[in-house]
Structure 1
Amino acid sequence: MSSITFSGLATGIDTASIISKLMDVERAPEKVMQQQQSTYQSQSDAYSKLETALNSLQTTMQGMNSLSGLKAMTTSVGDSTVASVTASSTAAAGSHTLTVNTLARSQRQVSVGYADGATFGTGAFTIDDGSGNVKSVNIDSSNNTLQGIVSAINSSGANVTASIINDGSSTPNRLVITGNDTKNYTVDFSGLGTGPTLLDSSDPSYQAGVNASFTLDGVSMTKTSNTVTDALSGVTLNLLKEGTTTSFSVANDTTSVTNKINAFVTAYNTAITQINAQSTYNSDTKTAGVLSGDSTLRTIQNTLQNLLTSTVSGVSGPYTNLAQLGITSDKSDGTLSVDSTKLSAALSNNFNGVMDLFTHNVGTFANHATNEYGIAEQFNKAIQGMVDTATNNGLLETRIQGLQKSISGIDDQISSMEVRISAMQLNLQTQYSNMESIVSSLKSQGSYLTSALSSSSSTSA
């Protein structure tokens, strides 16, 4: 339990105020350290903001350093009721003709109707896909209902799906077995003795499985699906209507690529603007950015600016640097701008050359010199050296970790000082309290002696 003291009751001295002022003097170094902490934290926050901007720039460049990320194709179909067409980055530009002869269909088999609660025989039945794959399905007294047979078929591993439809009649429940591909399956219920009766091909409910049949650029083809991915490299055909013909084209999607290049410029400008804000000095107001004169910031700024003029060695097209695409930096603040006319011309004149400038050698197994990689990968690698957190050895991460360590170290120093100051304060409070007690005791003795002397004088008189 802490002691209760009453400052200066005996001496008239404000000892509490004296102790408080003495402690303020002792804590003066703490204030200096706290100011240093505030500076370190401001620098760390500034580095973190820059790191965020650089991470965003790196993410943008990682999305542009490969053909699959940067290149895009667009398609146009003359009659969209015949087919829809999509193209990936591996597709080649060109025009084509498509005739859809027959759409792919799955086999559908429907049974006669059964009343609710109908049961069947037990044993085993088979599902044969016609290609030598036969599944045997067991039925016993626990699942010899229509629903039990449906569940048994669906868990059999056969490439078919079973279900029940209700036609609303007095015997409404019909078993429906649908192939999951275009094969024609034979379902033999004879092993049950009494099994569901499937309607044959003469019934309108029956549908035979059939492959898609079409002609692409004069070449006849059949496929097991109406979604065709392997007829034309990088192109997916979704067949929609039988007995029809249409033309379609695949073209370079220059709009998509332009948007991605503009996104790179925006992300770069965000990072550079962040650098400018932290490194500037205003001679009029005599104020400087938090990281003004900082060597780490200068290193990052120089690295980014050097990348803008970097060339790519070994590219297949005529473009070896960003300026040839109309991407240039402002001499006053380092931000980028795009000459849209020049970029559009480059994409129109040599689309693949633009692709190679950004994506050159990415994805190959060999290790290449820095200038042998495309611009996007050069940015990616350079930024990784700034923001790498896997081992905290990125340039920015090293500085942030160092500053946080310094802040933590100051906290430890302040804590140690507070322990010492608290002990000093307690000691002073004890000393002053003892002094007050002594003075109080002396005053009491003085009052007693004064009273005694006064009484003795009165008696003598």
Structure 2
Amino acid sequence: MALTSSLGIGSGLDLSSLLDGLRTSEQQRLVPLQKQASSYNTKFSAYGTLQSSFANFQSAAEALGKASLYEGVKTSVEGDAFSAVASEKADPGSYSIEVDQLARSQSLVSAGQASVDEQIGNGGTITLSLGNSAGDVSETVDIDLDAADSSLSGIRDAINAADIGVNASIVNDGSGTPYRLVLSSNTTGTDSQISVSVAENNGDGSTPLADLLDYDSTAGNGAMSETVAARDAQLSVNGIAVVSQTNRVEEAIAGVTLTLSKTTTEPQSLTATRDTDAVKSALQKFVKAYNSVNSISDKLTAFDAEKEISGVLLGDSTARTAETRVRGALNTPISGGTFSGLAEIGISLQRDGTMEIDDEALDEALANNLADVGQLMAGSDGNDGLSQVLVSTLDAVAGDNGLLQSASDGMKQRIDRLGDRMEREQESIDATIARYQKQFVQLDSLMASINSTSNYLTQQFKSLGNQGD
């Protein structure tokens, strides 16, 4: 920069401006390449946009190919005593349900103690078990308790650490000996009743721990008191008695899970029906995704006569082929079922290329022929449905090895090659300007020398003239 700015000082010529003009002129060699690079980048972006829209459409088509979509069941409940969730294994039907009793877990409470930290005995082994009133045990554990840990808080912590499904806590009842240990089963039902006993050796024959922690749920007695009895849920379904250990009742109705929340004074109804709303929602997403593809494709490939603007991919054979193949797949007749095409269930292509739903026709098809709609979209008995035909076509069009990806990869290679060419051209321009600059420096030096000689001669001639006078 310093050299460039000093050009012309010796010669008096505006060599810096001249060099800038030459540089600007030389840079024009890049303009056609820059325009070409801009065009390539715009096409590369357009391919990506189109590919993304086709991929979204593929996802929507794929969702319609899942047979479970057409087997879904929804439930409706009249009342607030229970809620219901159905799986695809549930059969449609109506049920009358009465809830006579809710399941609950057992709670035991000890006698009061004056302190939560005062030692009770010299330790021992607490045996804790869960089982039913018939004596069948499902869980049991022996908890060794040191003398230092035989306080009420130590007992609580030791039982909770055993993690057998029994929660221990301390309640203050406000009396003179207010601290009482409470044992509660973490699980509802009569199969999770608590029994607890203590083996201890205090030397003097006393059993302070056993006198505090003892209860036999089989016999229904002990040092502890049962404040809440374990109870099973009891209900009836269409007059059939059902017993459940929990308030979550599974398979009383095949494929339906009931969650009980309160008892009833009269029957409440449950209705299970095929979930046509989920199917319609999936079809609406499918149509929306296709219309997005159509809109993007039109914008990229059409010519706007009013604005005289051409789409980036106007006349592009790859984009045209992709669109043609997808439209062809949409119109593929599906054999083996009641319906052979989308138009028969109320979904059709319009003249402007968009897809439209006739809600009345679709609702009728879903209400009366849901299985046939499923067969059209998801196929059956080894025959592909429209979903499989579309997914296969869209994968070939917009997948990782599809038409659009190949075109995008080819365009990326062109961009890279053009970038290399522009880099070489810039190097050539820089070399040309450097050569000009060197020549200007030499010219400036030569002109400075000539001007110096001219000035010297002028002075000499002037001196000679003065001597003649």
TM-score range, shorter chain: 0.7 to 0.9
2: CA distance between counterparts of 1:418 and 1:170?
97
After superposition, the Cα gap between the structure-2 partners of 1:198 and 1:169, relative to the gap in structure 1 and judged at 3 Å, is: farther
Residue 358 of structure 1 is matched in structure 2 by 377
- The alignment partner of 1:292 has SS state of coil
- The alignment partner of 1:112 has SS state of coil
8 Å contact kept, 1:110–1:198: no
After superposition, the Cα gap between the structure-2 partners of 1:309 and 1:119, relative to the gap in structure 1 and judged at 3 Å, is: farther
8 Å contact kept, 1:71–1:257: no
> Taking structure 2 as the reference length, what is the TM-score of the superposition?
0.85
8 Å contact kept, 2:195–2:214: no
> Taking structure 1 as the reference length, what is the TM-score of the superposition?
0.87
* 88-97 vs 53-62, greater mean Cα deviation: 53-62
2: CA distance between counterparts of 1:446 and 1:243?
123
**Offset of residue 250 of structure 1:** 0.6
Residues 434-459 of structure 1 show CA distances to partners (whole Å, capped at 9, x for unaligned) of: 21011111111221122123323433
Tell me the number of residue pairs that the alignment of Structure 1 and Structure 2 aligns. 446
Q: 1:323 aligns with which of 335, 343, 346?
A: 343
Ranges in structure 1 where 5+ consecutive residues have no aligned partner: none
8 Å contact kept, 2:197–2:215: no
Give the alignment of 1:33-432 within 5 angstroms: 33-69=33-69, 71-78=71-78, 80-114=79-113, 115-120=115-120, 121-130=122-131, 131=137, 133-141=139-147, 143-181=149-187, 182=189, 183-191=192-200, 193-195=207-209, 196-197=212-213, 206-242=227-263, 244=265, 245-283=267-305, 285-315=307-337, 318-331=338-351, 333-361=352-380, 372-388=383-399, 392-432=400-440
Residues 285-319 of structure 1 show CA distances to partners (whole Å, capped at 9, x for unaligned) of: 5432111111221122112212322233444xx22
8 Å contact kept, 1:5–1:433: no
- The alignment partner of 1:136 has SS state of strand
2: CA distance between counterparts of 1:287 and 1:16?
43
Residues 409-445 of structure 1 show CA distances to partners (whole Å, capped at 9, x for unaligned) of: 3333322322332232222212201210111111112
Q: In structure 1, give the amino acid aligned to 2:154.
A: G
Residue 134 of structure 2 is matched in structure 1 by none
**Offset of residue 141 of structure 1:** 4.7
2: CA distance between counterparts of 1:39 and 1:28?
18
* 408-417 vs 435-444, greater mean Cα deviation: 408-417
1: CA distance between counterparts of 2:172 and 2:411?
73
Q: In structure 2, give the amino acid aligned to 1:194.
A: P
After superposition, the Cα gap between the structure-2 partners of 1:151 and 1:40, relative to the gap in structure 1 and judged at 3 Å, is: farther
- The alignment partner of 2:208 has SS state of coil
Ranges in structure 2 where 5+ consecutive residues have no aligned partner: 132-136, 202-206
2: CA distance between counterparts of 1:157 and 1:296?
65
2: CA distance between counterparts of 1:141 and 1:31?
92
After superposition, the Cα gap between the structure-2 partners of 1:19 and 1:58, relative to the gap in structure 1 and judged at 3 Å, is: same
Residues 91-117 of structure 1 show CA distances to partners (whole Å, capped at 9, x for unaligned) of: 221112223343222222222333242
1: CA distance between counterparts of 2:251 and 2:127?
33
**Offset of residue 275 of structure 1:** 0.6
- The alignment partner of 2:227 has SS state of coil
**Offset of residue 191 of structure 1:** 4.0
Give the fraction of aligned pairs with identical amino acids, expressed as a percent. Answer: 29
After superposition, the Cα gap between the structure-2 partners of 1:254 and 1:133, relative to the gap in structure 1 and judged at 3 Å, is: closer
8 Å contact kept, 2:196–2:213: no
8 Å contact kept, 1:387–1:395: yes
Q: In structure 2, give the amino acid aligned to 1:173.
A: Y
RMSD: 2.8
After superposition, the Cα gap between the structure-2 partners of 1:111 and 1:55, relative to the gap in structure 1 and judged at 3 Å, is: farther
Q: 1:440 aligns with which of 421, 442, 448?
A: 448
- The alignment partner of 1:119 has SS state of coil
- The alignment partner of 1:266 has SS state of helix
Residues 57-101 of structure 1 show CA distances to partners (whole Å, capped at 9, x for unaligned) of: 2333333321444554332223x2332222233322111222334
